[in-house]
Structure 1
Amino acid sequence: MPANKKHLTTSKWQRFLKFSAGFLGGYLVSMSLHMALAQWLNHVNVLITITFSGFILWVALFLLAFLAKNGWKVWGLYLLLTLFFSGCIYLGKLYHPIIS
């Protein structure tokens, strides 16, 4: 039985944007979040935790990208979140330097 045509309205370009945002953008958001947490919290515990929570967050962000109607908005949101967490990393290096 063929798929219902009303569910196949997205273009190939939008599907590519959603897939790339979920795959690459979700990875960037999850890694930048965990690096920011490692900068502000005990970095050893965060790096151990990232093996599980990083993958779970990445998969959740990957799936959320396909729920949106516009792939550009997903890319914009994921890039803003990545920039925000990168700013947290930068501020963490200024105010909480890791002592070797």
Structure 2
Amino acid sequence: MPANKKYLTKLKSQRFAKISAGLIGGYLVMESLHIALAFWVNHVHVLMTLRFGGFILWSALLIIAFLAKNGWKIWGIYLLLTLLFSILFYFGKSYNPII
């Protein structure tokens, strides 16, 4: 049974934005979060969490990207989150006395 047409994305640009935001943007958010966490807490524990929790988080971000109405808006949110986590990484790197 085919999908109901009213739930499908009509514009190809929106479809591309959702797919790329889910795959690439979700991966960037997941990696930047775990890298930032590695500088604020014990990095060995974060790397073990990244093995399983990272895949679950990436899957959740992929689903969220497809549930959004506007793919470009979700791209913006994912890029802002990546920037935020990168800033936390920068400050964690510069102020962490352990490393």
| Residue 43 (structure 2) pairs with residue 43 (structure 1) | yes
* Partner Cα separation in structure 1 for residue 97 and residue 32 of structure 2: 17
Structure 2 unaligned regions, length at least 5: none
Residues 1:88 and 1:9: Cα distance change in structure 2 (over 3 Å): closer
Q: Normalized against structure 2, the TM-score is what?
A: 0.93
Match of 1:69 in 2: 69
Number of aligned residue pairs: 99
Let me know the Cα RMSD of the aligned residues: 1.3
> For 1:85-100, what aligned pairs fall within 5 Å after superposition?
85-99=85-99
Q: Percent identity?
A: 69
| Residue 15 (structure 2) pairs with residue 15 (structure 1) | yes
For the residue of structure 2 that corresponds to 1:83, the secondary structure is: helix
Structure 1 unaligned regions, length at least 5: none
| Residue 81 (structure 2) pairs with residue 81 (structure 1) | yes
Q: 1:39·1:98 contact (CA, 8 Å) conserved in 2? A: no
Shift of 1:48: 1.2
1:49-84 per-residue CA deviation (whole Å, 9 max, x = no partner) reads 100000000000000000111001000000000000
Q: 2:9·2:15 contact (CA, 8 Å) conserved in 1? A: no
